[in-house]
Structure 1
């Protein structure tokens, strides 16, 4: 499989795209490229690796996103990630949180493309899987024409296999991380121009993409498209990804099979010492816009957090959806 095959990806999202979220998304799309939350390289090197990096084999293809700025630490963390079986290692150059600013990584790295390139080169020497970068178009007062070109030139020269671009600036001064996801204006044209400059390099786009129709429109200009919040809040839309973007045979969304798969998975997670709510918190957006969706959310949100809650809560929540649909049909 070449990197060009990764036409559709689900963005790395802090506190959201954990292994339970990714397993849900994989039930809906067999081909979408999934990403972990950002994991700091130091944590990978010194922390509980199974807790931080463990994942289910069904999640493939899945990429590990690392945070950090020290090339040797990034290389060591990348080696650990590759040994765990990740299909790609990605460097975060776009997160604007206070945490990354204090550690001078994330979006701060837009100011030091040479350092990012050193990290990419070190990681390429350490692993055989693709090494990629996710960045913004610039930070603060940077000229985005200059800043993004500098980043692309540096990381591609160092051997990066792909560059995913969130088509917004990050404002490290004056905006919160949440505000940075919405307030800086989108500039898709800037990413399109970058692709024109690098016709033979993989350029993917991210930011403010709300539907598969919008995703498909972007693919007329770039190589890949990455959905974040739309995929998380309305996961049902992922059921169309394989047929629409990968030429797979169209298959109807089978909610009953999905619910049963997630209930069985939740049962295994609980048996291993986990809690039901860790799984179900990612499922509340299912059935968005359908009859019974509100009751589905209510049941998961209230019952899944109770002591001793088991996978039957998921089945009971789905039964409420079915009941609403049956009453409507009658």
Structure 2
């Protein structure tokens, strides 16, 4: 069973934030995270954002439950009430997470209506108070994921003010999406692509705060890009590119950590995932809710299209089980050479 595999072999010479997969609503759920972990021991995984209010008043097991194999695992919190966030942090610590991350970068309407996320870029003192409260409530590392500014803010003073405030409050790391967020006029999707990237500003922040762990996010799409960024910062966070192409994660351990991947191939990783699938199905999960995270597997290999088609067609059927995945695997030419050289030279 996937949950019985122990993958906490993290190289001590590397920053904990050297490579991570971004928290993404409706994408980085517990099924995706287990599958990702079977591709890399060392990648740091993040939950979908969960609000402090939901944790205090909602179904905590549904919101915070995870499989033990997912470590190292961080929970991302949304909120702006320091007392609520402190209570939520204490609860998350009891669940056994490895890090608590505060969302100061999401520009969605839901987040804006709650006056948190990217809105908080305008109030570094409030974010610092939230960080301090969470640090007091648990022994876990507390980190902040932010933008370089919002709306008409000048990025350099906005980012530096936020960084210095949260570091002064005890933040253990800062993860910077190297774009502004426009709270009005751009959708969340447009906010991921339209505002220009400013990597040099994040690099400057690292030079100004050499003792602070700084990770960069936004527009990094390949391991070659990641390796280049690691010459200037402590870590790289990748979102959609890592989600859609899990074979990238298969290369993270050997390329960025100098250790073998957990399994020698994506096929073996998926086979190791099958007992987890059967276990979740026995608990009432739907196969399609699990296999939707697998559609990007084996991209570019002969049979990948047939693999996707088989999952899309059969996983939604009543009574569908792990055999659907096994049958889909059989449609892929697993002798085809991986695309590592293509990706690393991109």
TM-score computed with the length of structure 2 as normaliser: 0.91
- In the TM superposition, what is the alpha-carbon distance from 1:255 to its structure 2 partner? 2.8
Secondary structure of the corresponding residue to residue 35 of structure 2: helix
- Paired residue for 1:7, among 18, 31, 40? 18
Residue by residue over 1:237-257, the C-alpha shift from the partner in whole angstroms, topping out at 9 and shown as x without a partner, is 111111122221467742332
- What's the CA shift string for 1:55-111, capped at 9, x where partnerless? 000000000000000001011111111100000000000001000000000000000
Q: Is the 8 Å Cα contact of residues 291 and 324 (structure 1) preserved in structure 2? A: no
| 1:112 aligned onto 2:123 | yes
* Distance of 1:270 and 1:250 partners within structure 2: 27
Which of these residues, 216, 219, 233, is aligned with residue 230 of structure 2?
Answer: 219
Give the structure 2 partner of residue 313 of structure 1.
324
1:324 to 1:252, Cα distance in 2 relative to 1, 3 A: closer
Q: Name the residue aligned to 2:208.
A: 197
Q: Distance in 1 between matches of 2:265 and 2:213?
A: 33
Which digits, 9 at most, give the CA deviation of each residue in 1:142-175, with x for residues without a partner? 0001100010010000000000000000000100
Q: Are 1:275 and 2:299 an aligned pair? A: no
Counterpart check, 1:172 vs 2:183: yes
**Alignment-derived partner of residue 271 in structure 2:** 260
Looking at structure 1, the residues matched to 240 and 54 of structure 2 have their Cα atoms a distance apart, in angstroms, of: 26
Q: Which has the higher contact order (CA 8 A, sep 6+)?
A: 2
User: Are 1:208 and 2:248 an aligned pair?
Assistant: no
- Indicate the SS of the match to 1:92: strand
Misfit runs of 4+, over 6 Å = none
Task: Count residues in correspondence.
Answer: 325
- The whole-number CA distance in structure 1 between the counterparts of 2:309 and 2:225 is 31
CA RMSD in angstroms, aligned pairs only: 1.5
**Mapping 1:152-163, distance limit 5 Å:** 152-163=163-174
Give the direction of change, closer, same or farther, for the CA distance of 1:251–1:105 in structure 2 (3 Å limit): closer
Q: C-alpha distance in 1, partners of 2:186/2:76?
A: 23
Render the CA deviation track for 1:192-225: whole Å, top value 9, x for unaligned. Answer: 0110110110000000111000000000000000
Residue-by-residue CA offset, 1:96-134 (whole Å, 9 max, x unaligned)? 100000000000000011000000000000010100000
| Structure 1 match to 2:33 | 22
User: Contact (CA 8 Å) 2:34, 2:70: kept in 1 or not?
Assistant: yes
Higher mean C-alpha deviation, range 295-304 or range 49-58: 295-304
Partner secondary structure for residue 74 of structure 1: helix
Distance in 2, matches of 1:107 and 1:133, equals 11
Q: CA–CA distance in 2 between the matches of 1:15 and 1:56? A: 17
8 Å CA contact retained: 2:150, 2:182? yes
SS at match of 1:169: coil
Whole-angstrom CA distance in 2 between matches of 1:321 and 1:300: 12
Distance verdict in 2 for CA 1:5–1:168, change over 3 Å: same
Q: Distance in 1 between matches of 2:67 and 2:297?
A: 21
Report the equivalent of 1:288.
Answer: 299
